[in-house]
Chains A and B, each alone.
Chain A
């Protein structure tokens, strides 16, 4: 049986609106946030319940048809790229918040629930959901679970994996299992730890139990301007070295600032070679004390202007430049690649110098935006696709930056995931034995390899091996409904 025959089988059960086979409509789902990889799925199913998902997966398993789960489709590694002969299971209709359980500091949600929506629901009770990928206005919790999403504030609060305490999960054989719950330490293997961040290759989460975090009593944010990134980096080292763990420490270099100014007129200090945004939160008495320390470290390391947000409006203004940086780069370059690599934080100055060397040698501009507190770099490699050879040079620079991350003991991805895009880089970071051992887990869950095949592990090429290339501004960002981090 192929996917079209499967559609005929599913339609009477799921309803005709839930099963899409029309080519034009299928094309709506041909890519996720990494828009240059495109595959039209054979069939799209809009799931409305766990039973729907299980039924579709069981049918896929029975006939060896691949399936890919998709949330809001904001991923930046092609993790939700469809399979041409497979079913794309769209989870965004499953968007009920089932429970805000304040007494247990937990929420139970369906996977299509939007990240920010959950925090908004919990806020009146004094709680929020801590992981905050900057697509949080539009990305789904289910997608966050698949990718183990981070965000600016994970320096202090951790990633999705640290906040998910349970999932209801459909295995690739179509069985529904409960893994974890509201209580910790369910007896047995930590399957939850295995599933979160497995990029949809082990099955589909159909219900997610998450930890809610008490809203902090106080939040204070400063913006510091430095002559260059070396001094900004030294300030970060001084802050962390003093034992302060800010909620977030973000850095932008001169080119990223230029782009942000052009796009959103954020009004960052004139002449800055680098800006730092440092945010502290927690009990008011602690925040006040540490905030003064942080300000001191910034000045001691050459900050020539420090602004302190007086209120939420000013805080939002500080963040506006930072959060718009990716899309803003579209204003100063027709095309760009968003890279996501990690280095040990203390290597930041030397790695940045090396990146600027690589950039100069290749004649390719690189704007740097990063989560400085945890060494997560987002170099934006700028090029013009209409100039012959520029795209190739940009790709070479982008790859060289990843190699630099690996040489410095870092990682090829800190939060965007491996997906379809970086599977080919995995052997640079892991040995064959490492990858083989990871695949044992895959085999345990999905021996027939039908759950999101072709992702994470090196496989036959999809759409050529072009690294993450963005054509101008992402449509979601342009429409103002998403910011790309």
Chain B
């Protein structure tokens, strides 16, 4: 297979080589790593892969590479980290265009100088491309919307090497299909994202967190509803809950006098034990810990929260596992980290218990990450609505299943 490496090297200006033991995707080892520095080189990699019949998985910083199902085969890891340019930051227009390989933290410092920010704040601070490809979510989503709401343009390389653009550099734009939304959260199965244009927001003048301990599921539900229907307009409302109890914490952002006034209102809403701080709680914006590295993503209708919490408690009781939950209560997403004597069979039962109750909280249950030993026999993505259409989309974009085959829903 010397000619493969030769062709890959030719495609990326020599920046390709054999994979090491660290180059795995959800436990599946790769054979080669190619590091294109441009969209054109990415296209050349895809064409070389097509010529040799190789599968390709895109990778940024690799922080979420274990998410999803294991791909059937990983011939080439396409590393985007050399495509890390800040192509454009038009501060007056509140937009930026950035290479997929630029770290989120680097971009955050780029923007901070102009008093701006990108409203994407996931716990895993990898690259821009990784955040988009996995639709990574964080507390500020309540205020700024999800990743797909902030993507206004995209450059992608198709499985056959064709380079395509969608959207543009202006926030308001309805010309053509919004492929940026389709590619967001597609886990590298439809194309390789090489450049993204984002809508930005001004950084707030003032921030304040208001937090309160809450004991019961019903108490959590009542306070979340009270905040949701109030006029305090939090930028985020986060819940941290383990067997020992729970904390609700909301973030207020705005002008100095505005935040001061709203803090008083928020304290009243959260009850006598509430307090406020200029610093976030230590757990703010982080994933729940799990000694086994098992992370389950749950979604729910806003008012389904207490039923979701009851279902999690039920799943713990039924399996002997313990769960730590962190979630964005008014967005309707949560992550659960599992602890206790975990076996593959117990994890599977935990997930099954929740899925059987998913209609009660109106959401879905996805095993985001778990070690191979605990993933066995677990359907990580679970039931999927409109799967036929999704297969059809995949077939059109990647008929030969070259991109991350098997990693996404329904074996896509």
Chain A residues within 8 Å of B, Cβ to Cβ: 101-106, 126, 147-148, 150, 154, 158-159, 161-162, 169, 171, 175, 177-179, 181-194, 196-198, 214, 216-217, 237, 240-241, 243-245, 282-286, 289-290, 342-346, 371, 374-376, 409-418, 422, 426, 429-431, 433-438, 440-445, 456
A435 to B162 Cα, complex, angstroms? 12
Q: Given A183-B332, A437-B164 in contact, is the A243-B231 Cβ separation under 8 Å?
A: no
B255 at the interface (CB under 8 A from A): yes
Determine if B254 and A245 form an interchain contact, defined as CB atoms under 8 angstroms apart: no
- Which A-chain residue is minimally distant from B302 (CB atoms)? A104
A244: chain B residues within 8 A (beta carbon)? 202
A416 to B412 Cα, complex, angstroms? 35
Smallest beta-carbon distance B13→chain A, Å = 23
A216: chain B residues within 8 A (beta carbon)? 231
A181 to B384 Cα, complex, angstroms? 12
Determine if A189 and B186 form an interchain contact, defined as CB atoms under 8 angstroms apart: yes
Determine if B170 and A189 form an interchain contact, defined as CB atoms under 8 angstroms apart: no
Q: Given A185-B299, A186-B364 in contact, is the A445-B389 Cβ separation under 8 Å?
A: yes
B342 at the interface (CB under 8 A from A): no
Interface centre among B137, B170, B178, B186 (most CB of A within 10 A): B170
Determine if A190 and B184 form an interchain contact, defined as CB atoms under 8 angstroms apart: yes
B330: chain A residues within 8 A (beta carbon)? 105
A346 to B92 Cα, complex, angstroms? 6
B203 at the interface (CB under 8 A from A): yes
Determine if A193 and B148 form an interchain contact, defined as CB atoms under 8 angstroms apart: yes
B67 at the interface (CB under 8 A from A): no
B63 at the interface (CB under 8 A from A): no
Determine if A441 and B174 form an interchain contact, defined as CB atoms under 8 angstroms apart: no
Closest 6 pairs (CB-CB, A-B):
A193-B181, A243-B202, A285-B261, A286-B258, A437-B164, A103-B303
Determine if B255 and A286 form an interchain contact, defined as CB atoms under 8 angstroms apart: yes
Partner of A162, one of B149, B170, B302, B385: B149
Q: Given A102-B229, A289-B258 in contact, is the A410-B390 Cβ separation under 8 Å?
A: no
Please, could you name 9 A-B residue pairs with CB atoms under 8 Å apart, sorted by A? A161-B181, A183-B301, A185-B146, A186-B385, A188-B387, A282-B233, A346-B92, A374-B172, A409-B170
Determine if B302 and A411 form an interchain contact, defined as CB atoms under 8 angstroms apart: no
B408: chain A residues within 8 A (beta carbon)? 188
Smallest beta-carbon distance B170→chain A, Å = 5
Interface centre among A182, A185, A191 (most CB of B within 10 A): A185
A240 to B331 Cα, complex, angstroms? 27
Determine if A286 and B364 form an interchain contact, defined as CB atoms under 8 angstroms apart: no
Determine if B174 and A189 form an interchain contact, defined as CB atoms under 8 angstroms apart: no
A431 to B388 Cα, complex, angstroms? 29
Determine if B261 and A197 form an interchain contact, defined as CB atoms under 8 angstroms apart: no
Determine if B393 and A189 form an interchain contact, defined as CB atoms under 8 angstroms apart: yes
- Which B-chain residue is minimally distant from A243 (CB atoms)? B202
B89 at the interface (CB under 8 A from A): no
- Which A-chain residue is minimally distant from B399 (CB atoms)? A440
Chain B residues within 8 Å of A, Cβ to Cβ: 90-95, 115, 135, 137, 145-146, 148-149, 156, 158, 162-166, 168-182, 184-186, 190, 201-205, 225, 228-229, 231-233, 254-255, 257-258, 260-262, 297, 299-304, 330-333, 361-364, 366, 381-382, 384-390, 392-393, 395-397, 408-410
Determine if B201 and A178 form an interchain contact, defined as CB atoms under 8 angstroms apart: no
Determine if B385 and A189 form an interchain contact, defined as CB atoms under 8 angstroms apart: no
Interface centre among B182, B332, B395 (most CB of A within 10 A): B182
A237 to B185 Cα, complex, angstroms? 34
A418 to B301 Cα, complex, angstroms? 34
- Which A-chain residue is minimally distant from B255 (CB atoms)? A289
Determine if B261 and A283 form an interchain contact, defined as CB atoms under 8 angstroms apart: yes
Determine if B164 and A434 form an interchain contact, defined as CB atoms under 8 angstroms apart: yes
Determine if B174 and A197 form an interchain contact, defined as CB atoms under 8 angstroms apart: yes
A196 to B349 Cα, complex, angstroms? 37
A417 to B177 Cα, complex, angstroms? 11
Q: Given A179-B386, A241-B92, A430-B165 in contact, is the A342-B366 Cβ separation under 8 Å?
A: no
Partner of A434, one of B166, B190, B333: B166
Smallest beta-carbon distance B186→chain A, Å = 6
Q: Given A159-B172, A185-B299 in contact, is the A193-B182 Cβ separation under 8 Å?
A: yes
Smallest beta-carbon distance A318→chain B, Å = 22
Determine if A346 and B93 form an interchain contact, defined as CB atoms under 8 angstroms apart: yes
Q: A374-B172, A434-B165 are in contact. List 7 more A-B contacts (CB 8 A).
A: A187-B366, A189-B186, A285-B255, A285-B261, A342-B170, A429-B176, A430-B165
Smallest beta-carbon distance B207→chain A, Å = 13
Determine if B397 and A440 form an interchain contact, defined as CB atoms under 8 angstroms apart: yes
Determine if B149 and A183 form an interchain contact, defined as CB atoms under 8 angstroms apart: no
A413: chain B residues within 8 A (beta carbon)? 173-175
Determine if A283 and B90 form an interchain contact, defined as CB atoms under 8 angstroms apart: no
A433 to B258 Cα, complex, angstroms? 49
Q: Given A126-B229, A283-B258, A438-B176 in contact, is the A177-B385 Cβ separation under 8 Å?
A: yes
- Which A-chain residue is minimally distant from B137 (CB atoms)? A185
B409: chain A residues within 8 A (beta carbon)? 187-189
Determine if B172 and A184 form an interchain contact, defined as CB atoms under 8 angstroms apart: no
B333: chain A residues within 8 A (beta carbon)? 184-185
- Which A-chain residue is minimally distant from B265 (CB atoms)? A283
A35 to B258 Cα, complex, angstroms? 48
Determine if A245 and B172 form an interchain contact, defined as CB atoms under 8 angstroms apart: no
A416 to B175 Cα, complex, angstroms? 9
Determine if A437 and B175 form an interchain contact, defined as CB atoms under 8 angstroms apart: no
Determine if B182 and A411 form an interchain contact, defined as CB atoms under 8 angstroms apart: no
B168: chain A residues within 8 A (beta carbon)? 409-411, 429
Smallest beta-carbon distance B318→chain A, Å = 23
Determine if A179 and B385 form an interchain contact, defined as CB atoms under 8 angstroms apart: yes
Q: Given A193-B148, A436-B162 in contact, is the A185-B135 Cβ separation under 8 Å?
A: yes
Partner of A178, one of B203, B232, B261, B386: B386
Determine if B393 and A444 form an interchain contact, defined as CB atoms under 8 angstroms apart: yes
A243 to B332 Cα, complex, angstroms? 28
A283 to B264 Cα, complex, angstroms? 13
Smallest beta-carbon distance B320→chain A, Å = 27
Smallest beta-carbon distance B251→chain A, Å = 14
Smallest beta-carbon distance A454→chain B, Å = 15
A106: chain B residues within 8 A (beta carbon)? 301
Partner of B364, one of A185, A434, A438, A441: A185
Determine if B178 and A285 form an interchain contact, defined as CB atoms under 8 angstroms apart: no
Determine if B174 and A437 form an interchain contact, defined as CB atoms under 8 angstroms apart: no
B135: chain A residues within 8 A (beta carbon)? 185, 190
B203: chain A residues within 8 A (beta carbon)? 243
Smallest beta-carbon distance B314→chain A, Å = 19
Smallest beta-carbon distance B411→chain A, Å = 12
